[in-house]
Amino acid sequence: MKNIILIDKPIGLTSNDVVCKMKKTCGYKKVGHAGTLDPQASGLLVIGINKGTKLLANFLFDDKQYETTFTFGIKTNTGDGQGKIIKKSQHRITLTMIKKACQFFLKNEYYQIPPIFSAKKINGIRAYKLALANKKVRLKPQLVKIKKLKIIAFNPQLKTLKIIIDVTKGFYVRSFCNDLAKKLKTVAYVSQLRRTKSGKYHLKHAVSLATYLHQNKSIKNI
């Protein structure tokens, strides 16, 4: 689709960082995205440029697919590997236990509480900014659904679980990681997260941000 670009976002950048880099390097007047990715997540970011920004609203309700790894036995304040460790657990879990717990979440829609370290807004302020300021953050639960879940690998020694998960709009993988761990009477954090699909778009058709910027550098910036 014209003016819709599929970018493979690297780890370490916010979705807004990608938007700003494309504006500055390529000289586009308008750039937007259809669905935020955490800084520590990589993968598919659907970008609209110039007239394409008007089309982004059509993609906001699209289902998403993620390839993710959970590490059990450790909980961080951010829900990923960049946060501070706030809890540990020695509770032993098995693949059978994991499969049973996953089936519980696959049955129906359920209410999920977004992570406090997220881009959700509370009275116009991003939740993560309030959390960083050590202020109380209360986010409303939202109805989400897991459409498909495939277990790729479970390593009992490393306590890691790798899955591919297809979910509805507004689903937070970090929240699911926490919810699944609770169901298993342990704790966990997301040690790897990569978006592989967004609606009809797939990561295999995306280009890395570095490659796109190099190929579409504005004459003004040469």
Global pTM value: 0.92
Class of domain 64-196: alpha beta
**Per-residue pLDDT reduced to its tens digit, 34-79:** 988 988 999 999 999 999 999 999 898 899 999 999 999 999 999 9
User: What does the CA dihedral 53, 31, 209, 45 come to, rounded to 10 degrees?
Assistant: -40
Nearest to 11 by CA among 217, 211, 208: 208
Q: How far apart are CA 63 and CA 202, in angstroms?
A: 12
Q: How far apart are CA 145 and CA 150, in angstroms?
A: 15
Question: Could you give the residue numbers annotated as active site?
Answer: 38
Ramachandran region, residue 99 (left: φ > 0; alpha: ψ -120 to 50; beta: rest): alpha
Asked whether the domain spanning 64-196 has the same topology as the one spanning 4-61+199-221, the reply is yes
Question: Which CATH homologous superfamily contains domain 4-61+199-221?
Answer: Pseudouridine synthase (3.30.2350.10)
* Domain ranges across the chain: 4-61+199-221, 64-196
**Per-residue pLDDT reduced to its tens digit, 143-193:** 999 999 999 999 999 999 999 999 999 899 999 999 999 999 999 999 999
